[in-house]
Chain A
């Protein structure tokens, strides 16, 4: 089946780390993605991970993938107020193409000063 689940809301204090979690169902997914959406805007690609990797780090962002449990997480270090947004995880369906992405419901990250 096609299903991606995320918790809906996360609140952190500025300077703390944020961890957003996601579970997916398609074991054949080749790539998994994290997108950020600010109010009134489109989706901004933050990072992605290939399914044969366990971890990917990109500046303040760390993606962890547990393929056995089909669990993906995004850690944002030193969270800033500008990180307040909705974060979506997505899986690519089937083989290595981005033609069809299945998105989670999105996690609203609130960063308090």
Chain B
């Protein structure tokens, strides 16, 4: 059974640009959550999608957005990138019981 797949693994973007990250959950999982990990702030919750609907949202500005497709794959978008957006972005997928969250390897975003 394949795990959570995040693409790309690494990205370098310039300030002001936008970026889209992708997450394919474990087959059969319908819940996808996104987290930002930085040395200063640690792991912070961005948002959760379940059956194409946003269920929860963290305290991030509107520049951070996401969506989920009918096949449960999810994308997150960050517009007008700032240097402080440099981070490891992790997504997690959960099954029907939603008791276990399995994480992908993450996308390392560097904003220069």
Contact = CB atoms under 8 A, between A and B. Distances in A.
Interface of A: 31, 33, 35, 41-45, 48, 88, 90, 96-106
B102 A45 contact: yes
B39 to A, nearest CB: 10
Contacts of A90: 43
Contacts of B102: 45
A101 B35 CA distance: 9
Contacts of B55: 99
A94 to B, nearest CB: 9
B99 A98 contact: yes
Contacts of B104: 42
Contacts, number: 65
Contacts of A35: 103
Interface of A is mostly: strand
Interface of B: 4, 6, 31, 33, 35, 42-43, 45, 48, 50, 55-56, 58, 90, 92, 94, 97-106
A101 B105 contact: no
Contact of B50 (A42, A99, A106): A99
A57 to B, nearest CB: 17
27 contacts: A33-B101, A41-B105, A41-B106, A42-B4, A43-B90, A45-B101, A45-B102, A96-B97, A96-B98, A96-B99, A97-B31, A97-B98, A98-B94, A99-B31, A99-B50, A99-B55, A99-B56, A99-B98, A100-B56, A101-B33, A101-B45, A101-B101, A103-B35, A103-B42, A103-B43, A106-B42, A106-B43
